[in-house]
Amino acid sequence: MKVSLWTDKKLIKGAEPVFLKGHKKTGILLFHGWSSSPQELNPDYVPSTAKYLNSLGYTVYIPLRIGQGTRAEDLDGLHWEDWVDDARKHFDLFLKEVDRVIVGGMSMGGQLALKISVERPVVGVIAMGTPVFMNMDPLFRVWAWLNRKNRKMMHKRYLPQDREIAMKKIHYIEYPAYQLYENAKASWEIRKILPEVKAPILVVHSANDNVVDPMSAKYLLKKVGSKDKQLFWVKNSYHSFTTDRNSGVASKVMGDFVNRISR
The CATH number linked to 178 is 3.40.50.1820
Count Cβ atoms within 10 A of the Cβ of residue 138 and give its class: 0-12 exposed, 13-18 middle, 19 or more buried.
Answer: exposed
Residue 9 lies in a domain: no
Looking from the CA of 89 toward its CB, the CA atoms found within 13 Å total 14
Angle at 97 between CA 171 and CA 10, to 5 degrees: 30
Q: What pLDDT does residue 226 have?
A: 99
Residue 13 lies in a domain: no
Count Cβ atoms within 10 A of the Cβ of residue 17 and give its class: 0-12 exposed, 13-18 middle, 19 or more buried.
Answer: buried
Residue 10 lies in a domain: no
What DSSP string runs through 10-26? PPPTT---EEE--SSSE
Task: Let me know: does 224 contact 216? Beta carbons within 8 Å.
Answer: no
Q: Find the catalytic residue in 90, 171, 239, 251.
A: 239
Residue 166 lies in a domain: yes
Handedness of CA 250, 101, 184, 216 (dihedral sign): negative
Residue 4 lies in a domain: no
The DSSP output letter for 73 is G
Q: Find the catalytic residue in 36, 48, 107, 216.
A: 107
User: Quick check: is 239 catalytic?
Assistant: yes
Domain count, the chain: 1
pTM for the model stands at 0.97
The CA dihedral of 125, 60, 183, 169, to the nearest 10 degrees, is: 130
3-class SS string, 127-178: EECCCCCECCHHHHHHHHHHCCCCCCEEECCCCHHHHHHHCCCCCCCEEECC
Q: Which of 152, 158, 157 is nearest to 178 (CA)?
A: 152
What DSSP string runs through 75-121? GTT--HHHHHHHHHHHHHHHTTT-SEEEEEEETHHHHHHHHHHTTS-
Residue 5 lies in a domain: no
Q: What pLDDT does residue 94 have?
A: 98
Q: What pLDDT does residue 224 have?
A: 99
Residue 7 lies in a domain: no
pLDDT average per 10 residues of sequence, the chain (263 residues): 84 97 98 98 97 99 98 98 98 98 99 99 99 93 96 89 81 97 97 99 96 97 99 95 96 99 94
Task: Let me know: does 255 contact 53? Beta carbons within 8 Å.
Answer: yes
What DSSP string runs through 173-213? SEEETTHHHHHHHHHHHHHHHGGG--S-EEEEEETT-SSB-
Measured in residues, the chain has a length of 263
Q: Which domain holds residue 23?
A: 18-261
Bridge partners (DSSP) of residue 206 are: 234
Residue 165 lies in a domain: yes
Q: What pLDDT does residue 160 have?
A: 75
